[in-house]
A and B are shown apart, each in its own frame.
Chain A
Amino acid sequence: MSVSMVTAGSYLETLLQGQPRLPSSPLAWLNQLRADAVDRAGTLKVPPTRDEEWRFTDISPLAKLSFQPVRAVSSLQTADVERFCPEEAAIRLVFIDGVYAPRLSTPSNEATDLGLVVTNLSSAVSAHATAIEPHLGRHAGFQDNVFAALNTAFLHDGALIIAPRNAAVEKPVHLLFVATQKEAASHPRCLLIAESGSAVTVVEDYVALQEEAYVTNAVTEIALADNARVDHIRVQRDSTEAFHIANCAVSLARASRYQSVSVALGARISRYNLNVRLAAEGAECAVDGLALITGRQLADTHTCIDHAQPHGVSRQSHKCIVDGAAHAVFNGKIMVRPGAQRTDSSQSSRNLLLNAKARVDTKPQLEIFADDVKCAHGATVGQLDNEEIFYLKSRGLSEIAARNLLTYAFGAEIIDRISIASLKHRLEQTVLEQTRKN
Chain B
Amino acid sequence: MIYQDSKTLLEVRGLRATVNGIEILKGIDLTVRSGEVHAIMGTNGSGKSTFAKVLAGHNAYKVTGGSVTFEGNDLFGLEPEERARAGLFLAFQYPIEIPGVANSHFLRLAYNTVQAQRGRDELDPLEFEDFVREKMKLLEMNPDFLDRGVNEGFSGGEKKRNEILQMALLEPRLAILDETDSGLDIDALRIVTNGVNQLANKDNAIILVTHYQRLLNYIEPDYVHVMTAGRIIKTGGKALALDLEARGYDWVGVEQRDAAGA
How many Å from the CB of A353 to the closest CB on chain B? 18
Pairwise interchain contact B110-A411, C-beta atoms closer than 8 A: no
Pairwise interchain contact B59-A390, C-beta atoms closer than 8 A: yes
Q: Which of A398-417 contact B (CB under 8 A)?
A: 398-399, 401-402, 405-406, 408-413, 415-416
Pairwise interchain contact A413-B99, C-beta atoms closer than 8 A: yes
A130 on the interface (CB 8 Å rule)?
no
Q: Which of A306-347 contact B (CB under 8 A)?
A: none
Contacts of A397 in B (CB 8 A): 81, 109-110, 113
Contacts of B110 in A (CB 8 A): 395-397
- Of B84-92, B192-200, B211-219, which binds chain A? B84-92
Pairwise interchain contact B113-A395, C-beta atoms closer than 8 A: yes
Tally A-B pairs: CB < 8 A.
77
Pairwise interchain contact A396-B96, C-beta atoms closer than 8 A: no
Give the most central of B99, B101, B117: most A CB within 10 Å: B101
A391 on the interface (CB 8 Å rule)?
yes
Pairwise interchain contact A411-B58, C-beta atoms closer than 8 A: no
Pairwise interchain contact A409-B101, C-beta atoms closer than 8 A: yes
A112 on the interface (CB 8 Å rule)?
no
Chain A: interface secondary structure? helix
B80 on the interface (CB 8 Å rule)?
yes
The residue on A at minimum CB distance from B117 is A396
Pairwise interchain contact A390-B58, C-beta atoms closer than 8 A: yes
Interface size on B, residues (CB 8 A): 29
Which among A390, A408, A415, A416 is the interface contact of B80 at CB below 8 angstroms?
A390
B156 on the interface (CB 8 Å rule)?
no
Whole-angstrom CA separation of A330 from B84 in the bound complex: 40
How many Å from the CB of A139 to the closest CB on chain B? 33
Given contacts A393-B84, A395-B106, A413-B99, 18 further A-B contacts (CB under 8 A): A388-B96, A390-B58, A393-B79, A393-B80, A393-B81, A394-B57, A394-B89, A395-B110, A397-B81, A397-B109, A397-B110, A402-B81, A405-B106, A405-B109, A406-B98, A408-B101, A410-B100, A412-B101
What are some 19 contacts across the A-B interface (CB < 8 A)? A388-B96, A390-B80, A391-B96, A393-B57, A393-B80, A394-B57, A394-B81, A394-B83, A395-B109, A396-B81, A396-B113, A397-B109, A397-B113, A408-B101, A410-B100, A412-B100, A413-B100, A413-B149, A415-B100
